[in-house]
Chains A and B, each alone.
Chain A
């Protein structure tokens, strides 16, 4: 009886030792795979965030450049209102004659013009509020850019613009 018990113990001990050996044998490789995968995934995640930041910055720069182009266009339109298109200043753009300020003059250079590499379009002019709305034309996202500006008119002489201020988009 005692010998049978000892044999059982020996067999059980051998079996446990074999299982542990099998477990240890397959431990390091999956662990290194797991740790490596975590490292790679975390660094890829950080890289994606960095790339996203770069794209955001590029979009911000494009937005500022579009704002610059619109502000420049507003300066040009205001200068034209003080120059060859003075007669249109007191009239809303919806009521402008196609001949502009005189026969043969037209509105093309006021309402659709090129300035410094970008093309803009005058969408509306409201003399009552002094609000001028412009849009940039061209490819990409710039085609959707619009800007609203307030032209300050001379109270003593409302046919003259005295300044331009951006009111946003």
Chain B
């Protein structure tokens, strides 16, 4: 055993320990970030499911009431915008109109900017049977038209 060997051994050990600590630190940081993103995703999912269920229940009542397409669309939007369980910090929820579907369909959009996460789902008043068509137009295909 001499001084050179001890110095070399300590140097090798110090370098390995330093690299190891840095790798552990980076791994812990990634794990924390992933856990946070997963938690955010889960809570967004729960909020989305709650709203979807509430909307389905409300639509059943509205169908019986038949308030008309415009009123039903307004109610649908209000239902989507209604306050619910608090979202995680940094997550925003917005409701916007789908231009191609007139004023009857809305996008429910969740954004978490710092995490680079976005989810969007369309809800249509017409898809819930709240925009009844004129009776004259509801003519099913005839036998001769089917498979034409």
Contacts and interface: CB of A to CB of B under 8 A. Distances in A.
Nearest to A79: B126
A128 interface: no
Contacts of B5: 25, 28-29
B85 interface: no
A159 B20 contact: no
A47 B119 contact: no
B97 to A, nearest CB: 12
B12 A68 contact: no
Given A53-B31, A54-B30, A76-B105, A154 B129 contact: yes
Question: How big is the A interface, by class?
Answer: 35 or more
Interface string B107-148: 100000000011111111011110111000111110001111
Contact of A68 (B15, B23, B121, B146): B121
Given A57-B41, A79-B104, A159-B138, 11 more contacts: A29-B9, A36-B15, A46-B24, A50-B27, A53-B30, A64-B41, A64-B45, A68-B120, A78-B127, A87-B140, A91-B140
Contacts, number: 176
Interface in A80-120: 82-83, 86-91, 95-99, 101, 115-116
Nearest to A25: B1
A76 B101 contact: yes
A60 B38 contact: yes
B61 interface: no
B6 A28 contact: yes
Contacts of B13: 32, 35-36
Contacts of A18: none
